[in-house]
Amino acid sequence: MRRIAPILLAILTLCTACHKKHVLADKPDNLIKHDKMVEILTESYMAEAFIYAMQDSLPTEELTQSLYKDIFNRHGITKDQFIQSVDYYSSDKELFQKMLDEISENIMRQRNSSNIPDSLFNRSLEDVLQRNRMEDDSTTSDSIQPVPGIDI
């Protein structure tokens, strides 16, 4: 994960730098506040790094959905609200670069910390998957199977 976070940030920075969107996106009514958005994006990057690290061991699509659902539920936001907020913030190159710098600092601080309070990774994967199973009536009880030999 230590090598993946800077790579993800570099890729996102390149994508936003190459993006030729000169007009700021319309500010959505339900815009996520700057500080909260930085926190959510930090957790998203950490989740993506975790998913990348576990891609050979766990079902990636299901893991991705469960982790993002957990992030959105904990922050009281919807997927659409997240997407609209990302679109808005990324339309302002300087503001988004500032956010990326803050995210990078958060990741470095959390990586160097041995005590991360209420972090996404302090909970086990089973806890996240189990909670999402209980919240999602459309998920059958046997659709998420533990992977033998993986203790997260």
Task: Work out whether the CA dihedral 118, 57, 49, 74 comes out positive or negative.
Answer: negative
User: Among 2-6, 40-44, 110-114, which stretch is predicted with the lowest mean pLDDT?
Assistant: 2-6
User: How far apart are the C-alpha atoms of 38 and 41, rounded to whole Å?
Assistant: 5
- Answer whether residue 147 is part of any domain: no
The predicted pLDDT at position 120 comes to: 47
Q: Are 65 and 41 in contact (CB under 8 A)?
A: no
User: How far apart are the C-alpha atoms of 127 and 106, rounded to whole Å?
Assistant: 24
Q: Are 16 and 90 in contact (CB under 8 A)?
A: yes
- Answer whether residue 140 is part of any domain: no
- Answer whether residue 152 is part of any domain: no
Which pTM value belongs to this model? 0.62
- Answer whether residue 145 is part of any domain: no
The predicted pLDDT at position 124 comes to: 47
User: How far apart are the C-alpha atoms of 42 and 136, rounded to whole Å?
Assistant: 25
* 141 token code pair: 């009880």
CA-CA distances (angstroms) from residue 83 to 28, 86, 113, 116? 10, 5, 30, 27
What is the average per-residue pLDDT within 77-105? 93
The predicted pLDDT at position 141 comes to: 45
Residue at token pair 């989740």: 47
* 9 token code pair: 């940030």
Does the structure show a pLDDT above 60 at 25?
Answer: yes
Does the structure show a pLDDT above 60 at 63?
Answer: yes
- Answer whether residue 149 is part of any domain: no
What is the average per-residue pLDDT within 96-104? 92
Q: Rounded mean pLDDT of the chain?
A: 75
What is the average per-residue pLDDT within 37-66? 85
The predicted pLDDT at position 140 comes to: 47
- DSSP 8-state assignment for residue 33: P
The predicted pLDDT at position 117 comes to: 44
Question: Structural domain of residue 11, as residue ranges?
Answer: 4-135
Total structural domains in the chain?
A: 1
- 3 state SS of 151: coil
Does the structure show a pLDDT above 60 at 98?
Answer: yes
- Answer whether residue 143 is part of any domain: no
User: How far apart are the C-alpha atoms of 43 and 37, rounded to whole Å?
Assistant: 10
CA-CA distances (angstroms) from residue 145 to 48, 123, 129, 142? 21, 18, 10, 7
